[in-house]
């Protein structure tokens, strides 16, 4: 938690010292293929080996807020909070829900007014859940990042982002002390409030 506060303070200091023109915000959701492994063993493959069909489609939800454009350059500095997850269910109806989150700074760049490129990197944690009793799936914290490209549609300060994103996270799970790695490729739609050059 202390690391999270330090990252937040540094990000806030940079954000408010920037010569920005306007507030930026976006929020939305996506879906795509999610892969989770524990100590290098793919969870989906483990279920399939046991003869259990799995759904590898996951969802992601997220928000970004910041300022830009900076100094008449189509560059925005943002804070990111995003999560991605997927659920695997066995024949008995028991489930494992693997959720990974990212909180940290990011940048957004418009090489041309129609195209948005973005990236974020920061602190990660898990919010895993299961129907099995006495199973501990919390994490001690880790790192995560994301990169995306989108078409920015809309008029004035209101935009509709349609894009493709790659997300990754690595965490060490408490109690069982194994490394959880999550990666996802998804398509997304987001509403954006921004001032464009």
Place of tokens 């944690």: 125
Half-sphere exposure in the Cβ direction for 164 (13 Å, CA): 2
Nearest of 171, 187, 181, 59 to residue 125 by alpha carbon: 171
- In this prediction, residue 125 carries a pLDDT of 92
pLDDT-derived band at 168, boundaries 50, 70, 90: very high
On the question of pLDDT at 186 being above 80, the answer is yes
Q: Which CATH class is domain 2-193?
A: mainly beta
Q: Which residues of 175-195 are buried (b: 16+ CB within 10 A; e: fewer)?
A: eeeeebbbbbebebebebbbe
> What's the rounded Cα separation, in Å, for the pair 100 and 127?
6
More confident residue, 174 or 40: 40
> What's the rounded Cα separation, in Å, for the pair 196 and 82?
23
pLDDT-derived band at 15, boundaries 50, 70, 90: very low
Nearest of 39, 42, 86 to residue 60 by alpha carbon: 86
Beta bridge partners of 109: 75, 117
Pairing of strands 179-193, 158-173: antiparallel
Least-confidence region, from 63-67, 90-94, 98-102, 114-118: 90-94
- In this prediction, residue 19 carries a pLDDT of 52
Report the percentage of the chain scoring pLDDT > 90. 53
pLDDT-derived band at 167, boundaries 50, 70, 90: very high
> Length of the chain in residues, anyone?
197
Q: In the structure encoding, which two tokens stand for residue 126, read together?
A: 């898990």
Tell me the mean pLDDT in the region 30-44: 89
On the question of pLDDT at 133 being above 70, the answer is yes
3-state secondary structure of 197: coil
C-beta of residue 126 within 8 angstroms of C-beta of residue 137: yes
The count of other CB atoms within 10 Å of the CB of residue 30 is 23
More confident residue, 156 or 191: 191
C-beta of residue 88 within 8 angstroms of C-beta of residue 56: no
């Amino acid at each position: 938690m202390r690391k999270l506060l330090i990252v937040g303070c540094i990000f806030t200091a940079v954000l408010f010292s920037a010569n920005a023109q306007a507030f930026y915000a976006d929020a939305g959701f996506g879906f795509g293929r999610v892969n989770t492994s524990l100590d290098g063993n793919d969870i989906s493959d483990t279920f399939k080996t046991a003869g259990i069909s799995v759904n590898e489609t996951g969802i992601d939800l997220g928000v970004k807020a910041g300022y830009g454009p900076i100094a008449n350059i189509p560059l925005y500095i943002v804070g990111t909070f995003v999560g991605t997850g997927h659920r695997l269910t066995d024949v008995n109806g028991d489930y494992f829900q693997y959720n990974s989150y990212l909180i940290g700074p990011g940048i957004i760049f418009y090489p041309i007014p129609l195209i948005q490129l973005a990236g974020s990197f920061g602190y990660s944690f898990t919010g895993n859940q299961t129907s099995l009793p006495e199973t501990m799936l919390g994490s001690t914290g880790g790192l995560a990042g994301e990169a995306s490209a989108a078409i920015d549609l809309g008029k004035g300060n209101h935009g509709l982002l349609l894009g493709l994103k790659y997300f990754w996270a690595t965490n060490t799970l408490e109690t069982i002390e194994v490394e959880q790695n999550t990666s996802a490729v998804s398509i997304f739609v987001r509403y954006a409030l921004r001032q464009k050059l």
